[in-house]
Amino acid sequence: MGKEEEIVEKAVSIFMEGYLCAEAVLKTFAETQKIKCRNIPKIATGFGGGMGRTGFVCGALTGAVMAISLKYGRNTPSEAESYEKCSARIQQLFKGFNETFGSVFCRDLTDCDLTTEEGRQKFKEQQIKEKKCTRYVEKSMKMLLALTKE
């Protein structure tokens, strides 16, 4: 198994241990980049379930967006080149994810309304995390690694 495969497996593994999709992707990436920040994965918590379970953009994808921003983001408004580099990679990320899965939205990808008890029950009973979401974490992590290779 190559280094990239190990990193992807780590993200899926910690996701299955209980971290949310966004947390798993961001935490794994930060660790591989040797970025230490006491607010990782905490800053990603609200992005799970398509942002607070609302079903919007997939948390695995938003975790990757945060990771790309960690690497290419800007610290001051004058860093226009950083913003361009960051935005271009995020657009590629969204395009690739959407082409692979047909949507970037958690509610479409899971077919569950996680704001309801019924939706969360369906998510659990149908093993959506295991059967579907692990693939989203895996793909997001693979694309993230490809987009941040220098």
Mean predicted confidence (pLDDT) in 112-121: 97
Number of Cβ atoms within 10 Å of the Cβ of 136? 26
Mean predicted confidence (pLDDT) in 70-99: 96
Residue partners of 100: CB distance under 8 A and separation at least 6: 139
pLDDT number for residue 150: 74
Mean predicted confidence (pLDDT) in 108-130: 97
Q: What percent of the chain has pLDDT over 70?
A: 100
CA 95 – CA 103 distance, rounded (Å): 10
pLDDT number for residue 2: 83
pLDDT at position 1 over 80? no
pLDDT at position 88 over 90? yes
Q: What is the DSSP letter of 20?
A: -
Mean predicted confidence (pLDDT) in 2-25: 96
CB 107 within 8 A of CB 57: no
pLDDT number for residue 6: 96
Question: Could you state, in order of their start, the residue ranges of all structural domains in the chain?
Answer: 3-145
Query: pLDDT category, 75, cuts 50, 70, 90?
Result: very high
Tens digits of per-residue pLDDT, 23-66? Answer: 999 999 999 999 999 999 999 999 999 999 999 999 999 999 99
CA 97 centroid distance within chain? 11
Measured CA to CA in angstroms, residue 120 lies from 5, 47, 126 at distances of: 30, 16, 10
